[in-house]
Amino acid sequence: MVETLPFTSAVEARTRPIYDRLARVVPAAEWPLFAPYVDAINALKREKNAVILAHNYQTPEIFHGVADIVGDSLQLAREAERAEADVIVVCGVHFMGETAKILNPNRTVLVPDKSAGCSLAESITGADVRALRVQHPGVPIVTYVNTSAEVKAESDICCTSANAVQVVESLGVPRVIMIPDEFLAQYVAANTAVEIITWNGHCEVHERFSGMDVARLREDDAGIVVLAHPECPPDVLAAADYAGSTAGMIDYVRAHPAERVMLLTECSMSDNVAVEFPNVEFVRPCNLCPHMRRNTLPKILRSLQTMTDEILVDPAVIAGARRSLQAMIDVTSPRVRDGIARSS
Ligand code: 13P
Ligand code: SF4
């Protein structure tokens, strides 16, 4: 049973600057439900010397209300590595919490809900990776960060959607295996001369978009700018004006002012981005990630109060997974890898 916290005048006053930022995307009638949690979480963060990292898909009251750092999965990994706080709360999905623990194992890493998974991470196991090595001897394995620590530990190098092409080309080989996202691998294959052996994992959110959606959208609205995440199928990416990571899409909107934009990705992101770009109309897709949605303000508060759900990774697995993650960080330019600090 989730406790209900009162919306007092003191809470209202302390959280007013946060609501002023959020007013475009959070109805006034909902703020009294969120504000007491925002206030309590921000106080508890200071008391416990905790930092909250939130992925771009978190809902606006988390993203703008309690997060200290926001970003795509690469940026969050980088920021987790440099975090000096005693406690790191990762508002995202399980593999993001694991990545934080792998890169900063001496901190306590918490996630608000340990059951927040990912269809890509679930599509492949360490045993699958070992079998691929036997099947393709000598071919390097590039692994999307949307995987378990065990899978990362069996790999040569990790990548995210922000740096996948850069990582593949850094290896200087004619052929690589890219796991587990088939569509991301096809996107990389279309943007490099390197031959890519794929795996058949898909994101359950992005695989639902189709090139037909984009065609219909453009028929109704010729001026709309369409940005798509590389986890979308190839016909979607071919029809989009730009393909890139969640952070890449935000950078694109910043650099190319437009009247109307559609972000073909998880739809909470449009709300978060709309706060920064009040003059852009974001046409929302309705695909939600059920795993990202497991995080709520009451769960974040509980997490800090009880110091759960803690992410623990076997030290032997940490060593291998860290090697793969570090190899990725070493070949990625700083421009694409640092998160955005929020003042909450
Ligand atoms: P980004 O690395 O682009 O943030 O993507 C993570 C993710 O899970 C997309 O579905
Ligand atoms: Fe995984 Fe897709 Fe959800 Fe991202 S949006 S966490 S890839 S299921």
Contact 314, 146 (CB under 8 A): no
| Tokens 């070949």 belong to residue | 331
- Structure tokens, 180: 């587990």
**What confidence score (pLDDT) does residue 343 get?**
41
Helix axes 9-22, 31-48, angle to 10 degrees: 100
The best mutation among 118, 206, 266, 287 to test binding of ligand 2, ranked by most ligand atoms within 8 Å of the C-beta, falls on 118
Neighbours of 258 (CB within 10 A): 16
Q: Which atom of ligand 2 is nearest to the CA of 181?
A: 7
Q: Which atom of ligand 1 is nearest to the CA of 205?
A: 10
- Structure tokens, 165: 């092409």
**Quick check: CB of 181 below 6 Å from ligand 1?**
no
Q: How far apart are CA 243 and CA 228, in angstroms?
A: 5
- Taking the whole predicted model, whether its pTM rises above 0.85 is answered as yes
**What confidence score (pLDDT) does residue 73 get?**
96
- Digits of tens for pLDDT over the chain (344 positions)? 456 899 999 999 999 999 999 999 999 999 999 999 999 999 999 999 999 999 999 999 999 999 999 999 999 999 999 999 999 999 999 999 999 999 999 999 999 999 999 999 999 999 999 999 999 999 999 999 999 999 999 999 999 999 999 999 999 999 999 999 999 999 999 999 999 999 999 999 999 999 999 999 999 999 999 999 999 999 999 999 999 999 999 999 999 989 999 999 999 999 999 999 999 999 987 899 999 999 999 999 999 999 999 999 999 999 999 999 999 999 997 765 544 554 43
Residue 195 identity (one-letter amino acid): E
Mean pLDDT, the chain, integer: 95
Neighbours of 318 (CB within 10 A): 19
**What confidence score (pLDDT) does residue 288 get?**
95
Q: How far apart are CA 46 and CA 333, in angstroms?
A: 32
**Cis preceding-peptide flag for 309 (omega within 30 of 0):** yes
Residues 6+ apart with CB under 8 A from 138: none
pLDDT in tens, 171-185: 999 999 999 999 999
The best mutation among 120, 181, 229, 288 to test binding of ligand 2, ranked by most ligand atoms within 8 Å of the C-beta, falls on 120
**What confidence score (pLDDT) does residue 4 get?**
85
Q: How far apart are CA 339 and CA 139, in angstroms?
A: 32
**What confidence score (pLDDT) does residue 339 get?**
45
Q: Using a 6 Å CB cutoff, which residues line ligand 2?
A: 93, 118-120, 146, 203-205, 231, 266, 289, 291-292
pLDDT in tens, 261-274: 999 999 999 999 99
**Quick check: CB of 146 below 6 Å from ligand 1?**
yes
